[in-house]
Amino acid sequence: MNNLLPPGLVSNLQQALANRKPGEDDAVSSKADDDSALPLPSEDEDSSKPVIFVTNSDGIESPGLSFLVNALVEEGAYNVNVIVPESDKSTSGHSVSLKETIEVASVQVKGATAYEISGTPVDCVSLALSGALFSWTKPLLVVSGISKGSSFGHHMYYSSVVAGAREALVYGVPAISISLNWQKDVSQESDFKDAVTVCLPIIKAAMRDIENGVFPKGFSLDLELPTSPSANKGVKVTKRSHWRSNLNWQAISNTRAQAVARFTGAQPPMGLNIAQLSRDASAAGAARRLTTQKKDIEVVESVGVSPKAHFKKTVKYFRAEMLPKDNKEDGEDLDFKAVENGFVSLTPSYASVDSEADDAALNWIKSAVLEGQ
């Protein structure tokens, strides 16, 4: 190390490390050792079974994920693999964590191989399909959901569950995103179980036809479920509407902002710890230079005034929430209108605008989903 770094920097780092509280390094080292021991695939995995990959936008404790994964495992026909964000990322859109270290932790899900990560839902899909974590190259199908809240209309640009399916499409893997039109004080956790009952036949039909080579290429499905899935009036092929909600920004007090920060606070990431160590090292070096040079330095006070000397930074705090907006768009074949009327909305999305792909997707939906309903 001494041959690679300047002696002064080495000395500063050594002093900063020596000043750290006892046990800090041990805790970090222990955590690193624990996290490096990622588990082997689930004992229930059978290499002859097709792989289905599941992600979501609101974490491992989400009832939508739990009911969906349990149903897929109970089918016994698939190897089920899961990666989800460690916290709610429902409105992070298609954001990707570039130039950041992503923490991957194993989680116990009966019958499946599962992880949660410190990144976004798009990171979950990208990591899964990269080949860096799982031994398989690609799953047959990516299922993103079931999310707590609709993703139709312009909300698809905010929706991470739709973005997860879209990322799979970028990799050339068929995908289905699933959202439940959750309504406060109306919806119940059991609605997610009913939602799985509705969407499972569509997932199975897609898996079957992908295996048989008859599933159209280059498109994904956005499945929007009504508030009461068990009382749905059937599946309707829909178009993407211009429905949107309003982002309402509210100023909040400094005291409330600090309270929120304490409530939601977490341990700083490794990058912040390294930055703090760097600052400590710089401070140690500055202190030593001041001590050694004190006798030889004549202090001269400048009479010039820095342009920024009197600037005082003002900090304000705001929080945003989504509020419903009246949408006057007409058309029974629009996604939000179908859901409002009690139907399951099924909207195809395409990797590229191609009328031939559009026809192929619609023909598959009609034959595999709509016939016999």
Full-model pTM: 0.70
User: Does residue 131 form part of some domain?
Assistant: yes
pLDDT tens digits along 80-122? 999 999 988 877 788 889 888 999 999 999 999 999 999 999 9
Per-residue pLDDT, averaged over 308-312, amounts to 74
Specify the DSSP class assigned to residue 193.
Answer: H
Per the prediction, the chain carries an average pLDDT of 79
Q: Which domain holds residue 21?
A: 7-36+250-293+313-320
Instruction: State the pLDDT at residue 369.
Output: 80
Q: Are 153 and 220 within one domain?
A: yes
In a domain, 225, yes or no: yes
Q: 157 falls in which pLDDT band (50, 70, 90)?
A: confident
What tens digit of pLDDT does each residue of 191-230 get?
A: 999 999 999 999 999 999 999 999 888 888 999 999 999 9
| Phi (first) and psi of residue 186, to 5 degrees | -120, -50
Taking the C-alpha atoms of residue 288 and residue 276, their distance in angstroms, rounded to an integer, is 18
Integer Cα distance of 211 and 22 in angstroms? 56
pLDDT of residue 210: 94
pLDDT tens-digit readout, 281-292: 555 555 555 554
Same domain? 145 vs 264: no
CA distance 241 to 153: 4
Instruction: Read off the DSSP letter of residue 334.
Output: B
User: Once rounded to an integer, what is the mean pLDDT over residues 307-336?
Assistant: 79
**Same structural domain, 103 and 229:** yes
Are residues 59 and 13 located together in one domain of the fold? no
306 falls within a domain:
no
CATH, residue 82: 3.40.1210.10
Residues 29 and 157 in one domain: no
Q: Has residue 165 got a pLDDT over 90? A: yes
Q: How far, in Å, CA of 179 to CA of 158, rounded?
A: 13
Mean pLDDT of 22-38: 47
Q: Give the mean pLDDT of 140-151.
A: 91
Whether residue 223 is contained in a domain is answered as yes
Domain count, the chain: 2
Q: 160 versus 273: which is more confidently predicted?
A: 160
Structure tokens that stand for 141 in this block:
């199908």
pLDDT band at 271 (very low <50, low <70, confident <90, very high): very low
Q: What DSSP assignment string belongs to 260-325?
A: HHHHH--PPPHHHHHHHHHHHHHHHHHHHHHHHHTTTPPP-------TTTT------EEEEEEE--
Whether residues 203 and 258 share a domain: the answer is: no
Say if residue 255 is in the same domain as residue 352: no
Query: Is 139 or 297 the better-scoring residue by pLDDT?
Result: 139
Residue 46 lies in a domain: no
Residue 364 has pLDDT above 70, yes or no: yes
Q: How far apart are CA 29 and CA 32, in angstroms?
A: 5
Amino acid 269: pLDDT: 47
Find the mean pLDDT for residues 315-319. 89
Q: Is residue 211 part of a domain?
A: yes
Same domain, 126 and 274: no
Is residue 75 domain-shared with residue 124, that is, in the same domain? Answer: yes
For the chain, percent of residues with pLDDT exceeding 90? 38
Let me know the angle formed at the C-alpha of 214 by 211 and 217, rounded to the nearest 5 degrees: 95
Residue 184: pLDDT over 60: yes
Residue 75: what residue type? E
Q: Has residue 305 been placed in a domain?
A: no
Instruction: Give the pLDDT mean for 54-62.
Output: 93
Tell me the pLDDT tens digit for each residue of 220-233: 899 999 999 999 99
Indicate if the pLDDT at residue 345 is higher than 70. Answer: yes
Nearest to 223 by CA among 338, 100, 123: 338
294 alpha carbon, distance to own chain's centre:
54
pLDDT category, 261, cuts 50, 70, 90? Answer: low
pLDDT at 233: 94
Which pLDDT does position 120 carry in this prediction?
92
Rounded (5°) CA angle 299-305-311: 120
pLDDT at 2 over 50: no
Is the distance from CB of 49 to CB of 77 less than 8 angstroms?
A: yes
Of the chain, the percentage scoring pLDDT greater than 70 comes to 69
As separate numbers, helices (DSSP H) first and strands (DSSP E) second, the chain gives 10, 11
Whether residues 78 and 165 share a domain: the answer is: yes
156 vs 225, higher pLDDT: 225
Residue 29 and residue 86 share a domain: no
Query: 96 and 148 in one domain?
Result: yes
Residue 63 lies in a domain: yes
**Predicted confidence (pLDDT) at residue 275 exceeds the cutoff of 80:** no
